[in-house]
């Protein structure tokens, strides 16, 4: 019988913690705090958090094969040198949309970096619709727009056979699936229920099931992409759950980010763990027998953007 356990492992509060990525070579969890304009790294051995401030809201981060990180901040792609804390811009986009910024991103099975944009709110609850897009940054720094007229480009991942691309546009309240090669045959994979609120970040497990963070829903839900059914719900001790990833030894632990921005004083008093990062253990399904699966999970977190510059 499995026994799921949830604990808070990063007590340092995040205004908008997002895009967790496990960095095996450092035994660390890398993530961003969007609204604090920081890229952060929590060392699981020392339990220390180190962060690097950048000059714009940073929506996502991914590992580079040669070390350091690629980040999507403001409306540009850039490299982050962790040792020198320097940022080098490699591509600028959407210069005609000053109210846009990058949001979630992830590396595909071939090492290309996908990240999407969204319009910022002009006042609470008000934003221009369908201003975002989804882009791919290739190893030669060439950028391709994959999707247009997106509201809030968010969670993304690929099926274990690499043939299907899953994407969340948060204001559609759904997870959609695309043929990965030609991006045709879009379907609604799962429509969120009322209590699940809005979908945010997402990851995939070793059985090919999707885990979707539900911001304002206080949970992560597990979805079977073959049936479009929810098969498991993890409730967390914070309402604004933003994203998730697998990491730790054998990638058997799930790390879940959260946010405290958007909560008033009364809500914060009821949610003392808002903005913390949680670790979930005790999954029955995650007994890896095929090391190639583990290798793939590592591969998709490593970006091949490593020419000398």
Among 33, 169, 200, 205, which one carries the catalytic annotation?
200
- The response to whether 100 counts as a known ligand-binding position is no
- The response to whether 224 counts as a known ligand-binding position is no
- The response to whether 169 counts as a known ligand-binding position is no
Q: Output 156-159 pairs: Cβ under 8 A, ≥24 positions apart.
A: 156/104, 156/105, 156/106, 156/114, 156/116, 156/202, 157/106, 157/202, 157/203, 157/204, 157/210, 158/108, 158/109, 158/204, 158/300, 159/204, 159/208, 159/225
Q: Which of 275, 271, 272, 280 is nearest to 257 (CA)?
A: 275
- In degrees rounded to 5, what are phi and psi of residue 90? -120, -15
- In degrees rounded to 5, what are phi and psi of residue 268? -65, -35
- The response to whether 47 counts as a known ligand-binding position is no
According to DSSP, the residues that pair with 183 across neighbouring strands are: none
Q: Residue 18 is encoded by which pair of tokens?
A: 């997002």
Q: Which of 35, 186, 162 is nearest to 107 (CA)?
A: 162
- The response to whether 101 counts as a known ligand-binding position is yes
- The response to whether 14 counts as a known ligand-binding position is no
Q: Is 200 a catalytic residue?
A: yes
Binding-site residues for substrate, in ranges, read 101, 103, 121
List, by residue number, the catalytic residues. Answer: 200
Binding-site residues for a divalent metal cation, in ranges, read 18, 154, 200
């Amino acid at each position: 019988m499995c026994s799921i356990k949830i604990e808070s492992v990063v007590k340092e509060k995040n205004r908008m913690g997002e895009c967790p990525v496990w960095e095996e070579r450092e035994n660390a969890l890398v993530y961003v705090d969007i609204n604090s304009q920081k890229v952060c790294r929590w060392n699981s051995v020392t339990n220390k958090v180190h962060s690097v401030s950048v000059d714009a809201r940073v929506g996502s981060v991914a590992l580079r094969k040669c070390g350091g990180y690629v980040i999507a901040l403001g409306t540009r792609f850039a490299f982050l040198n962790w040792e020198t804390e320097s940022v080098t811009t490699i591509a600028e986009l959407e210069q005609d949309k000053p109210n846009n910024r990058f949001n979630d991103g992830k590396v595909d099975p071939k090492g290309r970096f996908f990240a999407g944009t969204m319009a910022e709110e002009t006042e609470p609850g008000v934003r221009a619709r369908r201003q975002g897009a989804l882009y791919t940054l290739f190893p030669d720094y060439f950028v391709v727009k994959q999707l247009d007229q997106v509201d809030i480009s968010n969670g993304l991942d690929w099926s274990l056979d690499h043939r299907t691309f899953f994407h969340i546009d948060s204001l559609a309240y759904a997870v959609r699936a695309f043929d990965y090669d030609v991006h045709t045959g879009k379907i609604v994979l799962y429509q969120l229920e009322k209590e699940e609120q809005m979908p945010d970040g997402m990851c995939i497990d070793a059985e090919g099931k999707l885990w979707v963070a539900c911001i304002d829903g206080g949970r992560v839900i597990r979805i079977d992409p073959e049936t479009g059914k929810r098969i498991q719900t993890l409730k967390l001790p914070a309402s604004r759950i933003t994203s998730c990833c697998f990491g730790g030894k054998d990638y058997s632990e799930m790390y879940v980010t959260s946010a405290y921005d958007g909560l008033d004083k009364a809500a914060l008093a009821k949610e003392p763990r808002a903005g913390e990062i949680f670790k979930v253990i005790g999954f029955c399904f995650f007994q890896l027998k095929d090391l190639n699966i583990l290798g793939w999970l590592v591969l998709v977190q490593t970006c091949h953007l490593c020419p000398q510059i």
